[in-house]
Amino acid sequence: LPSDEALLSLPKAELHLHIEGTLEPELAFELADRNGVALPYASVEELAARYEFSDLQSFLDLYYATMAVLRTEDDFAELTRRYLRTAAEQGLRHVELFFDPQAHVSRGVALEAVVDGISGALAEAERDLDISSGIILCFLRDQPVESADAVLSAALTRPERLLGVGLDSAEVGYPPELFAGVFARAKDAGLHTVAHAGEEGPPAYIRQALDLLGVERVDHGIRAAEDPQLLARLAAEGVPLTVCPLSNVRLRTVPDLADHPLLALDAAGVRVTINSDDPAYFGGYVGHNYLAVRDALGVDAATAERFARTSIDGSFASDARKAALQ
């Protein structure tokens, strides 16, 4: 099996990363102090002790509460800088990161502050760390469709700043079909499209994401493993899945990493990538996810290299950039 060093140094792209999910407890308290925001936890230790989840919703409750400390453009820039520093040490060369504007605009933070802060840090990393990047605006599927429409309209005043749109937050009960119109508008504006589907939700949600949203990748998508016909379709169409192994264990969508369908998906010919989702909350950054699947599933060097190559190939980077990274 590959060494830690071999896995961490593989050139890799991260395609499933919520920037708000990189907020470590230490930075949360720094920003709470700086911004005069009261956190409902007494200390870094007390906050970190809450990182014990029973399902997606129990995580989301903490995730949305803690991100209240993010208020200014500089906060978003600092958050993004810290993520990039850690991920660069783990072989990251390209990132397409998610952000949740509705969760900030609803608290009175300007969309511009969010986008400018994240984009500023990404531009620095492009220059200083040779990490290429783009940002994907995620709609919160458990908020009204009208709210998604409004944030898309605001974002489309400067569409060139976005790589694409995605769909996240509580999944069950909020099927992709609700967002068909919003995604059609985003596509018409030339944006790429992805969606979380088949994390907690059924395989039917993955089909809807493909058929009704026209997504180019599926985020998570692990419940496709229950549906041989869907697996065959994903393989035939070459749709990449952005799998997040440590996230799936922490949110109990799989009982144990040893039971994870990662290798079953791979064996079915599906294009699999390894990602961290919300690394501050789920016990590790992208490299840690590679180490964890080696340890729990026996992922060998050739397979890990293939996953890393797929992450670059399955990205929305230019052909020239992909060639430079392979």
Pick the catalytic residue: 199, 200, 226, 237? 199
Residue with the shortest CB distance to ligand HPA: 168
Of 81 and 196, nearer to ligand HPA (C-beta) is 196
* CA neighbor of 308 nearest in space, from 46, 13, 9: 13
Do the Cβ atoms of 246 and 284 come closer than 8 Å? Answer: yes
Q: Return all residues near 38 (Cβ < 8 A) that are at least 6 apart.
A: 32
Burial of 294 (0-12, 13-18, 19+ CB in 10 A): buried
Tell the smallest beta-carbon distance from residue 274 to ligand HPA (Å).
Answer: 15
Residues that bind ligand HPA (CB under 6 A): 18, 21, 56, 63, 168-169, 196, 199, 247, 277-278
Q: Which is nearer to ligand HPA, 218 or 325 (CB)?
A: 218
> DSSP state, 190?
T
Question: Judged by CB, which is closer to Zn ion: 41, or 99?
Answer: 99
Task: Give yes or no for a contact between 158 and 186, defined as CB atoms under 8 angstroms apart.
Answer: no
199 is catalytic: yes
Span of 74-82, 254-262, 276-284, 307-315 interacting with Zn ion by CB under 5 A: 276-284
Q: Note the maximum CA span of the chain.
A: 53
Binds Zn ion by CB under 5 A, chosen from 80, 81, 277, 314: 277
Residue 11-40 contact track with Zn ion, rule CB under 5 A, x = bound: ------------------------------
Using DSSP's 3-state secondary structure scheme, residue 110 falls into: coil
Say how far apart CA 308 and CA 311 lie, in whole Å.
5
Q: Which residue numbers are catalytic? A: 199
- What residues line the site for Zn ion (CB under 5 A)? 277
